[in-house]
Amino acid sequence: MADKIRWGIVGPGHIAHSFAKDLKLVGDGELTAVASRSLDRANEFADEYNAEHRFGSYQELFESNVVDVLYIATPHTSHCDLTIEALHHGKAVLCEKPMGINADQVKLMIAAAKKNGIFLMEALWSRFNPSIVKVNELIAEGKIGDVAYLNANFGFYGLDRDEDGRLLNPDLAGGSLLDIGIYPIFLAYLILGKPDNIEAVSLFHKTGVEVQTAMIFEYPNAQATLASGLRSNMQMRAEIAGSKGSAFLQDRWHETQGYSLEIEGNMENFDLPTKGKGYSHEIEEVHDCLRKGKLQSEKWSLQNSLDLVNLLDEVRSITGTTFPFED
Ligand SMILES: NC(=O)c1ccc[n+]([C@@H]2O[C@H](COP(=O)([O-])OP(=O)(O)OC[C@H]3O[C@@H](n4cnc5c(N)ncnc54)[C@H](OP(=O)(O)O)[C@@H]3O)[C@@H](O)[C@H]2O)c1
């Protein structure tokens, strides 16, 4: 592998900008190529981030030899097909969340990675947030005792968005759950594992997409109350309460810059800033895996992605949330 790991971006939209900015902060990587459905858009993005190669179709980038790894940053519905195509062309893939729309898609993606012997990881960036990593370690060490309760939400007002855009459009697997509900579900899964039972209810929009979901994850000795929504700006401090104390991830917890611990009535705050916005940490994990020849991350494995999408599927089946293309 060359001194610098060569990245290509597939779908230079909203999140791709944040990613490209953070990639500049990771010394041993560089953006070498950008692919868009429009060559003009690829050129514009590539000029902004000094990427040498630009393509007016995703396929041309897949067939090129100018990258080591691709970042798939398109709407959810295209993750599966694009990732499989990239893997078949021998390109390692970091795929935006949710890895696939449902477990069937994620299984196909994992099978393609295994068949081709190529690295694949879901871009679940919060898994690599320094405060979340630290709080997870402290809880595992018993710092707050036995976890009894977890509360995490993710909500913002999004009903004013374009109804054809990916948030409100059922054909693009819109709704709050797959876009942002995935984060509180991830936190419950990280700290408490797979629940024994799930309760959930959803509100729906006139376009047919689910726009607010409240969930209870039940464990033998704990409960997690989770919510996602596009109907209001929710409070986004996460709380994990145990028999000896509590841990708090500061607002907005999924990209937090610090955490707090309350043990026996004493509250202590800890700053633990991200490098850049925080995408740098998942990029560093990909680099570490690629340099060591690993085919998946041990910190966010393919099984973790499959477990997560299974939880999303289960919530959707309880709330009756379906997409037109799944009928
Ligand atoms: N990790 C995070 O913090 C985070 C934050 C936001 C979003 N995301 C994830 O990243 C993915 C992309 O989100 P985004 O907000 O960046 O989306 P976006 O800006 O709406 O779309 C990204 C790009 O995808 C391409 N694209 C391909 N097929 C498309 C289609 N049918 N409709 C619209 N665009 C299409 C477009 O680029 P070209 O046409 O130029 O090829 C577009 O600019 C989502 O899966 C989302 O869950 C992650």
- Convert the pLDDT of each residue in 263-280 to its tens digit: 999 999 999 999 999 999
Per-residue model confidence (pLDDT) at position 98: 98
Q: Is 14 in the pocket of ligand 1 (CB under 6 A)?
A: yes
Strands (E) across 138-265 are located at 147-155, 197-204, 210-219, 222-229, 238-242, 245-249, 258-263
Assessment of whether the complete model's pTM goes beyond 0.75: yes
Query: Is any atom of ligand 1 closer than 6 Å to the C-beta of 43?
Result: no
At the fourth CATH level, the homologous superfamily of domain 5-124+279-295 is NAD(P)-binding Rossmann-like Domain (3.40.50.720)
**pLDDT for position 276:** 98
Q: At 189, phi and psi to the nearest 5?
A: -65, -40
Count other Cβ atoms within 10 Å, centred on residue 40. Answer: 10
Q: Is the peptide bond before 166 cis (omega within 30 degrees of 0)?
A: no
Average model confidence (pLDDT) across the chain? 98
Give residue limits of the domains in the chain: 5-124+279-295, 130-273
Q: Per residue in 108-133, pLDDT tens? A: 999 999 999 999 999 999 999 999 99
Q: Which fold does the domain 130-273 belong to in CATH?
A: Dihydrodipicolinate Reductase; domain 2 (3.30.360)
Q: Name 154's bridge partners.
A: 228
11 lines ligand 1 (CB under 6 A): yes
pLDDT in tens, 297-318: 999 999 999 999 999 999 999 9
Asked whether the predicted pLDDT for residue 2 surpasses 80, the reply is no
- The finding on whether 7 has its CB within 6 A of some atom of ligand 1 is no
CA-nearest residue, atom 36 of ligand 1: 11
Identical fold, 5-124+279-295 and 130-273: no
pLDDT, tens digit (0-9, with 9 covering 90-100), for 281-298: 999 999 999 999 999 999
Residue 74 has pLDDT above 90, yes or no: yes
